[in-house]
Amino acid sequence: MKRLPMVLVLALLAACGSREERSVLRRQAVGPAPGSGWARLVLDGPAQRDAASLWLSDDQGRAVPFLWTDAGIWAPRSLGLARVLKGRDRQGRPSVEFSLQVPERRQPDEREQLQIRLGVHGEVPWACRVDIQRRLPDGRFLALELPTPRVIYDFGPSGASTQFTIPWDAKHYRLALDPVQGAAPGIREVTVKAAIDPDPDRELQTVRPQRLPLHAAGGRKWGLRLPLADRIVGLRVELEPPAAPVLPRLSLPGGEGPEQDLAVQGMLWNLPALNAAANRVTISPMVTDGLDLELPEGVDLRDAAFLVGRAALLFPAEAGRSYFLHSGGAVKSSPGTLASLPEASREILSRAPLALGQPEPDPQGLPRVRTAGERARPWMPWAAGAAVLILGLAAFRIMKS
């Protein structure tokens, strides 16, 4: 009986000791690459959720450097403008025409976008749909038809946005503001930047979450939930008509703490009489399993879905060589860093991404060593209670004898 406390201590130390966790190590085959150069790898759902533990290796287990495509490597570049004409069109709408100053032999890629920001002045609140036209070589103007209309607005303290993005497919553009709510403001200036969008609409996935009604004072609120976390970049929301432009409120579920409101880009409306509707809003990409959506009082929700965009990796690949994406353990660092995107960025985007194989056990993975404190923490209260009980029982028997 005297040895019992010492035996108990040794058992606890042995159970709480450091141990390598290899059961969670996974790897996925990548490639092989069809040709030498920069390759692109789009992550799947499990890899996206394990982004903090990802590292890339060749078939010999050597770490390969890579870049995240959503880390600002495609920085927008300002474009010069020529022949800027501001005024009103034949319908009396505020308008502006401009030509882009593009270097000779510079041809925009299909994935390059124009980020246009308008400097305007007018009485708030207002919201306008932007009518976009570009000039053809023969001098005629042709309307730019887009799946989602481009909208700018200013509702005073509740929010404003005068920037929008369009595909870059011409050198001369004409913009006009078509009022949807309030009076269209005058246009004072226009600035244009060129940028490559790494997550175009054709690579986004629409995922329908479970919709739960929530209580909200003065408005309508729904909880949108996914069974597993994913990288959400926006929402498609359809309102019951008629619904004038409104700015939705998106937040992370608060749980026991306060809710965290998110910055939302875009507005929602549904006006069949005007043949006008907008059903998409965007947020900064985040990995989460749900968001809360709140609409103003009197606005009802017809349908809602998440826009999911997978992050992608860029890395230098050799023709015919296979690579592996590792996750679940410690990260094996590669020598050096890839500080900037190479000049062949357009070629990277025009190529199909490399295929990502199914997860399998990883013999080359680096296990994360769990320290004694980490392993003991989940069940330490139970172990301490058991130790106290055993020691109390031993003391009772000694006193009784």
Which of the following CATH numbers is that of domain 201-308: 2.60.120, 1.20.1690, 1.10.10, 1.10.20?
Answer: 2.60.120
- Angle formed at CA 167 by CA 207 and CA 110, multiple of 5 degrees: 90
- Angle formed at CA 312 by CA 306 and CA 315, multiple of 5 degrees: 180
How many angstroms separate the CA atoms of 288 and 232, rounded? 7
The percent of residues in the chain predicted with pLDDT above 70, rounded, is: 78
66-85 pLDDT, tens digit each: 988 765 566 678 899 999 99
- 185 vs 156, more confident: 185
For β-strands 37-42 and 55-58, DSSP reports them as unpaired
Mean pLDDT of the chain: 83
Answer yes or no: is pLDDT of 12 > 70: no
Can you tell me the mean pLDDT for 321-336?
A: 89
Give the CB-side neighbour count of residue 209, counting CA atoms within 13 A: 28
How many angstroms separate the CA atoms of 173 and 166, rounded? 11
Residue given tokens 């038809």 in the structure block: 145
Kind and range of the H or E run holding 153: strand 151-154
Is residue 286 within 8 A of residue 231, CB to CB? The reply is: yes
Three-class DSSP category at 262: coil
Return the pLDDT at 349: 66
Can you tell me the mean pLDDT for 359-377?
A: 74
116-160 pLDDT, tens digit each: 999 999 999 999 999 999 999 888 999 999 887 898 989 888 778
Return the pLDDT at 161: 86
- 345 vs 23, more confident: 23
Same fold, 77-196 and 201-308: yes
How many angstroms separate the CA atoms of 29 and 148, rounded? 37
230-283 pLDDT, tens digit each: 999 999 999 999 998 888 999 998 765 567 789 888 888 898 887 788 899 989
Return the pLDDT at 380: 58
The class of domain 77-196 in CATH terms is: mainly beta
Answer yes or no: is pLDDT of 337 > 80: no
Q: Residue ranges per domain, the chain?
A: 4-18+371-400, 19-69+311-369, 77-196, 201-308
Three-class DSSP category at 317: strand
Nearest to 146 by CA among 132, 127, 163, 161: 132
Return the pLDDT at 371: 58
**Residue 333 banded pLDDT, cuts 50, 70, 90:** confident
Can you tell me the mean pLDDT for 12-18?
A: 49
Nearest to 283 by CA among 345, 224, 211, 215: 224
pTM comes to 0.69
Answer yes or no: is pLDDT of 397 > 90: no
Sheet strands side by side (includes 268-271): 243-246, 268-271, 276-278
Answer yes or no: is pLDDT of 97 > 90: yes
Sheet strands side by side (includes 312-317): 37-42, 312-317, 67-68
Can you tell me the mean pLDDT for 105-117?
A: 77
Is residue 128 within 8 A of residue 149, CB to CB? The reply is: no
